[in-house]
Chain A
Amino acid sequence: SAVISQKPSRDICQRGTSLTIQCQVDSQVTMMFWYRQQPGQSLTLIATANQGSEATYESGFVIDKFPISRPNLTFSTLTVSNMSPEDSSIYLCSVEVFADRGEKLFFGSGTQLSVL
């Protein structure tokens, strides 16, 4: 398994500001994922972050709005830029761990973001 520390756990932000979410893993991992979960919805993948390369964004998500850093194999940040109330969601980082029975996805504790 993997232990993932994510912070902040929650924040209330003003429209037009930016928030950076940090994700720290207790072991080196190749791929880290950032998900968004809007209220009452399932998880939507924002982007995949590999160390040493640009993040790969899913359809509907762009780097200017959600810049991601991945400086090493244990850490990543996601910034939600120029926030609006529509950005109010839970943001989750996750890592894929390869075990003998297959790949497993573990999540951080999540960041509950409210934008006023």
Chain B
Amino acid sequence: AQKITQTQPGMFVQEKEAVTLDCTYDTSDPSYGLFWYKQPSSGEMIFLIYQGSYDQQNATEGRYSLNFQKARKSANLVISASQLGDSAMYFCAMRSGNQFYFGTGTSLTVIP
């Protein structure tokens, strides 16, 4: 069964606007971690944000915030005030047990 689902293969956003990238997950572990990574065309995987399953508040890191809805098992990434440099692939990931699981990614294009 797929552990991480990203249903948006591609997204477009106007520069300076906000965009939400969707991610749902599946686990029966009570303790898990959720991550978002950015992968530009250079290929590196850049850590953006982390949310622990027991964290009461949604994680925020600068222009990135994670909309964590535990009951719905969703962990959407919100990027505010999009910049041209935000154009990249974005991967949602989960640590559950001793494993890391990755989604299939969403390609974000920021339009000037």
Contact = CB atoms under 8 A, between A and B. Distances in A.
Interface in B82-112: 91, 93, 95, 100, 102-105
A105 B44 contact: no
A101 B33 CA distance: 9
B104 to A, nearest CB: 5
Interface residues of B, number: 20
A18 interface: no
A112 B43 contact: yes
B99 to A, nearest CB: 8
Contacts of B47: 1, 104-107
Contacts of B46: 107
Contacts of A37: 43
- A interface: dominant SS: strand
B42 A109 contact: yes
A105 B100 contact: yes
B50 A110 contact: no
Interface string B40-65: 00111111001010010000000000
B42 A42 contact: no
Contacts of A33: 100
B43 A102 contact: no
- Smallest CB-CB A-B distances: 5 pairs: A107-B45, A110-B43, A109-B44, A102-B33, A43-B102
